[in-house]
Structure 1
Amino acid sequence: MTDAAGTRPPLVSHVSVGVSDLEKAGAFYDAALGALGIGRVMDHVMGMAYGRAFPEFWASIPHDRQPCSAGNGVHVCFAASDRDAVDRFHAQGLAAGGRDDGAPGFRPDYAPGYYAAFLRDPDGNKLEAMTWVRPASIDA
């Protein structure tokens, strides 16, 4: 199936994670996602949306207004432009209140050239930033 422009629509329109404190979550996501060139594109009374052009990722108070919880085994992975962006995502996310869940580095058990870092946001949601590195530059 294609859209009017003849391109395939994305598989996923957007992803949302629950947060308990909008101010704390906003500071974390502004920093961590800003390191990847992803900005806040919308504010709402219940949360904020991030993307490169339109809302693709939401950090918001749960719709039912019940306490949020991080799902075990659930994570969101953001595509990074290069290793430096992955490193900045991790460092800036930690500085903005996130917790380390896997330092930047290669993950050869995932795939050759897979470079990633993992964080937990202030509410425990698991986030990843990753990029592919060509084998010739892995040792660089």
Structure 2
Amino acid sequence: MSDVTIDANPSILSHISIGTNNFEQAVAFYDRVLPTLGCKRIMEHPGTVAYGKQYPEFWVCMPLDGQTATVGNGTHIGFIAPTKEAVHAFYEAALAAGGINEGTPGGRPDYGEPYYGCFVRDPDGHKIEASHWEET
């Protein structure tokens, strides 16, 4: 462990993809929600849209195998919010775009003092989160 190099990019993931059974509805939802966090469409292919800030990090797509997309029980995707206000904007945009409340914006004592976030389900039932961590 002593030879660990500190990377300027603190992320551990390259990207994540979620499946949808209603592509137009899913893309309309994320087109409305992700800009609240500074994200935009980065790339598009038939049945696939990728979002990010600089490169494609979050993909929404029809399953390539042609089968029904399903939601993982116990799985959720957390997006970084730059401010508490962005958490609220994300939450409000998600509900206005057809999302379902899974946890209103606020602190979560179990997550630690610096945490502030919210949880919603997208139209396909994927649980998504926006969180902001205050520096202490």
After TM superposition, the score normalised by the length of structure 1 is: 0.87
Separation in structure 1 between the aligned mates of residue 106 and residue 36 of structure 2, nearest angstrom = 17
| Residue 8 (structure 1) shift | 6.6
Q: Distance in 2 between matches of 1:92 and 1:108?
A: 25
Partner of 1:92: 93
User: Residues of 1 paired with 2:130 and 2:10: CA distance?
Assistant: 23
Question: What is the 5 A alignment of 1:32-47?
Answer: 32-47=33-48
What is the alpha-carbon root mean square deviation over aligned residues? 1.9
In structure 2, distance between residues paired with 1:46 and 1:52: 21
TM superposition shift of 1:32: 1.1
SS in structure 1 of the partner of residue 103 of structure 2: strand
**Structure 1 residue ranges without an equivalent (≥5):** 136-140
Aligned to 1:66: 67
Output the amino acid matched with 1:50: Y
Q: Which runs of 5+ in 2 are unaligned?
A: none
Partner in structure 2 of residue 117 of structure 1: 118
Corresponding residue of 1:12: 13
Alignment partners' CA distance in 2, 1:90 and 1:112: 20
Report the alpha carbon displacement of residue 133 of structure 1 after superposing the two structures with TM.
Answer: 2.6
Do the aligned partners of residues 116 and 9 (structure 1) sit closer, same or farther apart at CA in structure 2, a change above 3 Å counting? closer
Give the aligned partner of residue 29 of structure 2: 28
Q: In structure 1, what is the equivalent of residue 80 of structure 2?
A: 79
Q: Which amino acid aligns with 1:126?
A: K
Q: 1:34-85 CA deviation, whole Å, 9 max, x = no partner?
A: 1111111111112110000110000111121111111011111000000000
The alignment covers a number of residue pairs equal to: 132
* Counterpart position of 2:58: 57
Secondary structure of the corresponding residue to residue 78 of structure 1: strand
CA deviation after TM superposition for structure 1 residue 21, in Å = 1.2
What SS does structure 2 have at the residue aligned with 1:35?
Answer: helix
SS at match of 1:87: helix
**Stretches (4+) displaced over 4 A:** 6-10
* Counterpart residue identity of residue 21, structure 2: S
Shift of 1:134: 4.8
SS in 2 for 1:66: coil
SS at match of 1:72: coil
Give the aligned residue type for 2:89.
R
